[in-house]
């Protein structure tokens, strides 16, 4: 009987090995992949805001130096040019940030399509996912979406956060053996159905 059932240690290794072969953790590192783009987007916004502000300031300064406007009106103009420059800079930052993140989000969605397949994969780690406590991620929603084949519609950053936290949990030696047994049963029951078919 003990020969048929894998030991707790072997079961843990089997589940972890399957997990690491299924999910590309580097590809699912949303924060690290988007950070350079966010920094570049901030710089883009700053450049646009600076160009608008200094263009307005330059016109006001030329007008002031030629005596067309007085000191008080010049001060008001300088202050007023901060508003459109901030709006344009903020808009440029948002557009740049969204464009840079779009490619990464699409790549993550492509990977989700790969590992989910027709029957879903993430839901099979349900017992472990329910132990995670990520404030911004709806675990029940992710499990349900995976089970129903619509995980691709979930926010990529949530899926990435859940999978990376799941890897940490499975790698932790204090994770109960019952979690690994339950996960393995999800995969083995699916394999049994395939063999019958």
Domain ranges of the chain: 9-196
Average pLDDT over residues 151-173: 92
Model confidence band, residue 158 (pLDDT cutoffs 50, 70, 90): very high
State how far the Cα of 151 lies from the Cα of 146, in Å rounded to an integer: 5
Q: Does pLDDT of 45 surpass 50?
A: yes
Spatial distance between the Cα atoms of 76 and 140, rounded to a whole number of angstroms: 54
Separation in Å, CA 97 to CA 41, 91, 101, 104, 189 = 5, 10, 6, 11, 44
pLDDT at 195 over 70: no
The whole-number pLDDT of residue 79 equals 87
- % pLDDT > 90, the chain: 57
Residues 6 or more apart whose CB falls under 8 angstroms from that of 124 comprise 183, 186, 187, 190
Q: How far is CA 113 from CA 23, 38, 122, in A?
A: 11, 26, 11
pTM of the model: 0.76
pLDDT band at 177 (very low <50, low <70, confident <90, very high): confident
CB-neighbour burial class of residue 83 (10 A; exposed 0-12, middle 13-18, buried 19+): exposed
Q: Smallest Cα–Cα separation from 64: which of 50, 53, 78?
A: 78
pLDDT digits (tens, 9 = 90+) for 98-134: 999 999 999 999 999 999 988 889 999 999 999 888 8
Instruction: Return d(Cα 132, Cα 190) in angstroms, integer.
Output: 24
Q: How far is CA 13 from CA 128, 153, 178, 184, 186, in A?
A: 15, 31, 14, 11, 16
User: What is the average pLDDT across 30-53?
Assistant: 92
């Amino acid at each position: 009987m003990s020969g048929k059932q894998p030991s707790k240690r072997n079961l843990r290794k089997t589940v972890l090995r399957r997990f690491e072969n299924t999910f590309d953790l580097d590809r699912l590192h949303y924060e690290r992949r988007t950070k350079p783009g966010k920094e570049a987007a901030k710089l883009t916004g700053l450049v646009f805001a600076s160009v608008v502000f200094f263009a307005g300031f330059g016109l006001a300064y030329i007008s002031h130096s030629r005596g067309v406007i007085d000191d008080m009106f010049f001060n008001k103009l300088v202050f007023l040019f901060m508003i459109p420059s901030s709006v344009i800079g903020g808009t440029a930052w948002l557009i740049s940030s969204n464009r840079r993140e779009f490619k990464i989000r699409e790549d993550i969605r492509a990977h989700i399509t790969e590992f989910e397949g027709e029957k879903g994969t993430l839901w099979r780690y349900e017992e472990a996912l329910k132990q995670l406590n990520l404030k911004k991620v709806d675990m029940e929603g992710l499990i349900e979406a995976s089970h129903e084949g619509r995980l691709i519609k979930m926010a990529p950053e949530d899926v990435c956060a859940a999978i990376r936290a799941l890897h940490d949990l499975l790698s932790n030696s204090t994770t109960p053996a019952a979690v690994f047994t339950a996960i393995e049963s999800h995969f083995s029951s699916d394999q049994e159905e395939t063999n019958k078919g």
